[in-house]
Amino acid sequence: MESVIFILFYLITVIIIIVDQISKYWIRATLKVRGKKVIWPGVLKLNHYQNSGAAFGIFKGYGRLFVPLAILILFVCIYILETGEVSGRLIEIGMGLFVGGAIGNAIDRTLFNQVTDFIQFHFIKGIFNIADYAIIFGMLLILLDSIIIGF
């Protein structure tokens, strides 16, 4: 069973990277930078933004500094899963989302020295991408798993 779950980690990681990169390619090919397209009025729009920093534009111009961090996250998660320090579907799914998102954004930072953001919900401050949401949901699952294990 352990190997099946470990395969789930890799599968989720690869799917997130692929979906993230395809979506960013599509946005770059179809919408000019700062271009907007309403998908669901009052709820969701696509807003093409190039972020050369981290979340919310902090560390502008220093995006490539986060690439080694993404690689470190990948190796730490693989090590933790390989050693069996943590186990269970919830943590492996969370780690797969987290690592997939980190690597997805690292690819952008390596190739373009910036990250393509485009998902803007009217009720959430900021513009994000698939990788960003994978990181957020991955962290939430990891936290949820930690809370459940703690009881």
Range of 75's domain? 2-150
Angstrom distance (rounded) from CA 89 to CA 7: 11
Contact present, 141 and 93 (Cβ < 8 Å): yes
Amino acid at 57: G
Q: What is the pTM of this model?
A: 0.86
Q: Which of 20, 108, 117, 145 is catalytic?
A: 117
Catalytic hit among 20, 108, 132, 145: 132
Q: What pLDDT digit, counting tens, does each position of 116-132 carry? A: 999 999 998 899 999 99
Q: How far apart are the first and last CA of the chain?
A: 24
Number of separate domains in the chain: 1
Q: Answer whether 132's CB lies under 8 Å from 97's CB.
A: no
Q: Does 132 participate in catalysis according to the annotation? A: yes
pLDDT tens digits, one per residue of 7-42: 899 999 999 999 999 999 999 999 999 999 999 999
Angle between helix axes 130-150 and 89-112 (nearest 10 degrees) is 150
CB atoms within 10 A of CB 104: 26
